[in-house]
Each structure stands twice: as structure tokens, then as C-alpha cells.
Amino acid sequence: MSRKKLGVLLYGPPAAGKDTVTRALAKLESRYGQFARLKAGSGKSGGYRMGTTAQLRELEAAGDVIYANSRYGNTYVIDRQGLDAAFAAGVPVVHLGQIDGIRALVEGFPADWVRVLLWCSQEETAQRSIARGDSDTTARLAAWEATREDMDTHPDLVWDLRVDTTATPPEEAAGLIDRLVAGRSGALPAPGDQRGHA
């Protein structure tokens, strides 16, 4: 019998804390790792597998593109081969900013996905973006608006957990997510194990 595939989907606007919560998850439990999407373009390379337009065309031709989107002048891809490798390594944490991406992933790659909404206000996104030195804060604020519209357009989407990252520390958010994953795997923390306690 094959091991049950468990993954985490983190959805939210720019600067909502997807990277920070993922780091807290990895610190809590080494099996968690951020899924490195394939990125064709320029700018930030950390957390991505940098690729070329030719590679993307090859993946598309092979039917291995599960979801692709363009933002900030780049193309970002979730591919079947990358996910297979991520699941073989542990519990992948996939960052998404589009609900269409969540649906494409849930429908296109069989796994038990824990769906988490991370949220912060537009003002908080601006402050965090400036504080971390983004050169494209205006574009990120536009993406925040697009995320809000995306949610308004898909009110039926069910979340396993909603977290206001302005009020909830990343370690606490990670603990809540870890408990959800443990419950799905049937391996709840042992008595005395404080993982996931709020």
C-alpha cells in the first residue's frame, strides 16, 4: 500500500506571510518543504527552480503543466515532475495567489491537500513589502486587489484554516497547520507533544 500523499496549500495576497509560515513549518517539522515552482523570467530566484521558455514548452507538450500563471512579468509553473519529487521528499507546501491555481492543483494532482488562507490588510502588505525592500510594491498592492476580487468571485471555496497573519505569529500558524496535517495522516501528536497548540 502506497503512502498517503499529504500536501499544504497556502493561499493569500502578497506579503501575507507564506514564506514566513513555511519557514516556521520546516523548523517545527523537517518533513515540510516549500514547493519550488518553475519560474521563467527575472527577479527573485530564491524558492524557485529557474527555467526557460523552451523548458515550459517541453513540459506543456508532455502534459506535465498542472498550473501556470504570469505575474510581475514572469511565468510561474506547477509541474507534475516537480510535485512527484516534492512528495517523495516529504510534505510539500505550495504557495498560490490564484484560486484557479488551487482548483487546478486539487483536481489535477491526486493528494490530500490542506487548504490554508493566510490574510493581511492591504496596508499591512504595503508596510511589509517596503520593509523587505521590494522594488515593485505598487505591483504587489495591485496583486492584493486581485486576490480580494478572486476571493469575492469564489465565495464557495472551503478553507481548512483561515489565519490573520497580522494577529497570529507564524509559529502559532505553523502549529495549527501541523495539527491539521497530523489529523489527516492519522498520526496525531502524542500526549505531551506541544506541536500545534495555540
- Could you report the per-residue pLDDT of 169-183, keeping only the tens digit for each? 999 999 999 999 999
139 in a structural domain: yes
- Return the CATH number at 144: 3.40.50.300
93 in a structural domain: yes
197 in a structural domain: no
Question: Which has more pLDDT, 57 or 27?
Answer: 27
Mean pLDDT over 187-198 rounds to 41
Where residue 187 falls among pLDDT bands split at 50, 70, 90? low
Residue range of the domain that includes 143: 6-185
pLDDT of res. 195: 42
Mean pLDDT over 80-97 rounds to 94
Where residue 3 falls among pLDDT bands split at 50, 70, 90? low
79 in a structural domain: yes
How many other β-carbons are positioned within 10 Å of the β-carbon of residue 133? 7
96 in a structural domain: yes
108 secondary structure, DSSP code: H
Average pLDDT in the chain: 87
Q: Work out how many domains the chain is built from and give that number.
A: 1
43 in a structural domain: yes
Q: How far apart are CA 10 and CA 32, in angstroms?
A: 13
198 in a structural domain: no
Burial of 69 (0-12, 13-18, 19+ CB in 10 A): middle
194 in a structural domain: no
